[in-house]
Amino acid sequence: GVPGLQRVTPSQLKTMTGRKGKPAWSSYMGKVYNITPYLPFHPGGEPELMKAAGRDGGKLFMEVHPWVNWEGMLGSCVVGILVSESEAKS
Ligand code: HEM
């Protein structure tokens, strides 16, 4: 595995909504990112970015700005890799 990265299942990701005291996480290309620190800096505004909270942001992201380098901007906010529910148990 990747050192320092936790395995995150889709059901865990779903709970990281940025509400109820939890940070907002979003996945992109198989990696999971904490988008909370970036929220105030997003040029498209917080509500737009929050649409990707707790789920995969790839589709929305690519619809709006495929030219933006997600990994380059949020590389330091990686928290884990997305795995299937069964993979998480091993
Ligand atoms: C604009 C970054 C996710 C909606 C931008 C811009 C950047 C950026 C750098 C300026 C782009 C430019 O002017 O060429 C990011 C990053 C994301 C992310 C790093 C990953 C977490 C999203 C999502 C949505 C979204 C998920 C929609 C649900 C928008 C919109 C603008 C914008 C609508 C245009 C703002 C305007 O020009 O008035 N974003 N974005 N972004 N973003 Fe995002």
The pLDDT score that the predictor gives to residue 19 is 94
Residue 27 to residues 1, 31, 33, Cα–Cα distance (Å): 17, 5, 6
Total residues found in the chain within this entry: 90
Identify the residue whose tokens are 């929220």: 39
Q: Is the pLDDT of residue 2 over 70?
A: no
Ligand 1 centroid–CA 74 distance in Å is: 12
| ipTM associated with this complex | 0.86
Does residue 24 line the site of ligand 1, with CB under 6 A?
A: no
Q: For residue 49, what is the enclosing H or E element?
A: helix 46-50
Cα–Cα distance for residue pair 39/1, rounded to 1 Å: 29
Q: For position 90, what pLDDT does the model report?
A: 57
At residue 57 the predicted structure's pLDDT band, cuts being 50, 70 and 90, is very high
- Ligand 1 centre to CA of 63 (Å) is 10
Q: Which CATH superfamily is domain 6-81 in?
A: Cytochrome b5-like heme/steroid binding domain (3.10.120.10)
Domain limits, the chain: 6-81
